[in-house]
Chain A
Amino acid sequence: MKNIEVPALARVEGEGGLYIGVKDGKAVEIRLDIYEPPRFFEGFLVDRFIQEVPDITARICGICPVAYQMSSVTALEAALGIEVGPEVNALRRLMYCGEFIESHALHIYMLQAPDLLGVPSALDLAAVAPEVVKNALRMKKIGNEILKAIGGRSVHPVNACVGGWYRWPDTAPLKALLPELEWALEAAKETVKWSLSLPYPNLEIDYEFVAIHHPEEYGVMHGEVWSSKGSKLSVNEYETRYIEAHVKHSNALHSHTSDGGHYLVGPLARLNLNHEQLLPEAQKALRESKVKLPLTNPYKSLIARAVELVHFYEEAIALVKSYNPAGPAHLDLKLRTGEGCGMSEAPRGLLYHRYKIDKNGRIKFARIVPPTAQNLPRIEEDLFAIAPQLVKMEHETATLTAEHLVRSYDPCISCATHFLNLKIEDKK
């Protein structure tokens, strides 16, 4: 009976392989070979009606469906030349809080912490520190509960539409979440303290950080695309500087800047560029942590996630308390030919969408730039940085070390990279 595998490999999304070419004891070539699904989605979308787009693109990822919904609705609203009101936006932020919470709690405790603590998996962590894992699941669950209260179900929620929401969610189930949210806010503050106690490998990288920046709120859906190198662009200008390109070894596109540089999106970029917009409790947690910004160690993105957790619980509490919907849940759409760009910060980084639509509201062109495609060249470059150590290690240790680095970016291909096949080839 023991040779039955549960679950089937069907639950693995994508494949990741790492190739390191070695010459004279030095790494000369590194390739992260990836199969990345969103490419097909751009094709599926052509000739679909705009209102189908949020729910189709949400299916690109089970961890960040809200990011896909929000980037698509904001892009399509731009194409139609409409702007939703503050109540619609506030509920979008709340739903996004739910996504950050469930994704970050999962990544911090179940994915990256076992690597840092030197145990094979969260199962082993649960065996030695059951309370930690129990709290992690409780923290994560509240995020899924938010998604369920707004979107009807905890994974792949529905309800978001171009122009707003199909209906306002009932008030009572949202307000009922407050006690758990209050508990989770305290747990998140403890998570920041705990994150500081973890042993991080030494690795400092001179990154170009890129994230959405908004002067009055922690950038998630609105604002400009800021770079730590000084570039400040509107969403409509995104593609003038951030360019996707095919690379031979990967089915995923790789992004680079217009001058050929690689850049990093995600929690480190957000925290470094937007820490002044964190809410007070998160600011306090960051200040008390005495963490010096900018954080430039990729492994320490865990600390950035922990600080963001405090922020998103805090923001969720405020948004739930003020939730009191009135008026129509969505705008009436007047269809027209148009083109629009939208972006939002998925938990793992900036997610950009652009659509062209015809006068009947049918999609004629779609471009989706997921965060992981933007980070892949950066991850390869960082692997180069640790390659001198990797090539000296036993194969198994080298695999674990490379996996740990890859996982610290929380790529959407985490499932695949957990099965990373490491090939070190001597080119002599």
Chain B
Amino acid sequence: MTTLVLGIGQSLRGDDAAGLEAVRLWQGKYPQTAKLIRVETSELPGLGLLDLLNGVDAAILVDAVQSAAPAGSLLRVGAADLASFAPDALSAHGWGVAETLQLGRSIYPWLEAVHVTLIGIVGEQFEIGAGLSPRVRAALDGAAAMIESEVHSLI
């Protein structure tokens, strides 16, 4: 079984970097698990997400999200919930995770067989050049533990 952990986010846009930071922290804290599976980070995968998912059995995507929940909250979103997202943020060049998965399901039958889970870290500020907000930084340990537990449920 091939499992992928993918950290997503722009490193120079505040809390958007949470996905990258969480995956790196998890790799450092749980090296024994991390070395067993494929780990990638991507600043802006866009439609390239579909290439990253091709050939894997399961993928855990770790990304910053916006939500009514307080900043630093951790959300686990299964494939069914991800599929039902209304892609109101659809733009030409910045394909987000939900709409890319939705597009992929329309054209690539193999994608149905990939077990996709999203670990979302609720962010609050996405300014260019800003670092992580204190509440998101404080949530990284929890996010790393969540990745670890998610990986163990798969392998």
Contact = CB atoms under 8 A, between A and B. Distances in A.
A137 B66 CA distance: 28
Interface in B54-101: 63-68, 75, 77, 81-82, 84-94, 96-99
Nearest to B44: A62
A126 B102 CA distance: 9
B92 A10 contact: no
Contacts of B14: 10
A121 interface: yes
A407 B92 contact: yes
A140 B103 CA distance: 15
A165 to B, nearest CB: 24
A10 B64 contact: yes
A110 B120 CA distance: 27
A133 B66 CA distance: 29
A2 B118 CA distance: 14
Interface string A1-31: 1111111111111000000000000000000
Contact of A415 (B10, B68, B94): B94
Nearest to A132: B107
B137 interface: no
Contacts of B82: 6
Given A62-B93, A123-B102, A137-B47, A4 B67 contact: yes
Interface string A122-163: 110011001101100100110010000000001100000000
A415 B46 CA distance: 13
Given A122-B103, A414-B93, A10 B126 contact: yes
Interface string A406-422: 01000000110011000
Contacts of A10: 10, 13-16, 64, 123, 126
A134 B64 CA distance: 28
B44 A6 contact: no
Given A6-B65, A8-B66, A9-B66, A415 B91 contact: yes
B106 interface: yes
B119 to A, nearest CB: 12
A7 B123 contact: no
Contacts of A126: 103, 106-107
Contact of A133 (B93, B96, B107, B118): B107
Given A137-B50, A414-B92, A6 B107 contact: no
Contacts of B126: 8-10
B103 A123 contact: yes
A7 B13 CA distance: 13
A137 B93 contact: no
Contacts of B89: 5-7, 9, 11-12
A141 B46 CA distance: 12
Contact of B44 (A131, A155, A407): A155
Contacts of B10: 10-11
A12 B86 CA distance: 17
B81 A1 contact: yes
B64 A8 contact: yes
Nearest to B51: A141
A64 to B, nearest CB: 10
Nearest to A122: B103
B30 interface: no
Contacts of A285: none
Interface in B1-46: 10, 13-16, 43-44, 46
A136 to B, nearest CB: 9
A4 B85 contact: yes
A45 interface: no
A6 B88 contact: no
Contacts of B98: 6-7
A12 B126 CA distance: 10
A317 to B, nearest CB: 22
Nearest to A121: B90
Contact of B47 (A7, A140, A419): A140
Residue in A3, A4, A7, A131 with the greatest tally of chain B CB atoms within 10 Å: A7
A63 interface: yes
Nearest to B50: A137
Nearest to A145: B51
A256 interface: no
12 contacts: A1-B77, A6-B98, A6-B118, A9-B126, A11-B44, A110-B92, A126-B107, A133-B103, A154-B48, A155-B44, A155-B46, A414-B93
Interface of B: 10, 13-16, 43-44, 46-48, 50-51, 63-68, 75, 77, 81-82, 84-94, 96-99, 102-103, 106-108, 118, 120, 123, 126
Interface of A: 1-13, 62-63, 106-107, 110-111, 121-123, 126-127, 130-131, 133-134, 137, 140-141, 144, 154-155, 407, 414-415, 418-419
Given A7-B64, A8-B126, A419-B91, 14 more contacts: A1-B77, A2-B81, A5-B65, A6-B82, A7-B96, A8-B15, A9-B126, A121-B90, A121-B99, A126-B103, A126-B106, A140-B47, A144-B48, A418-B92
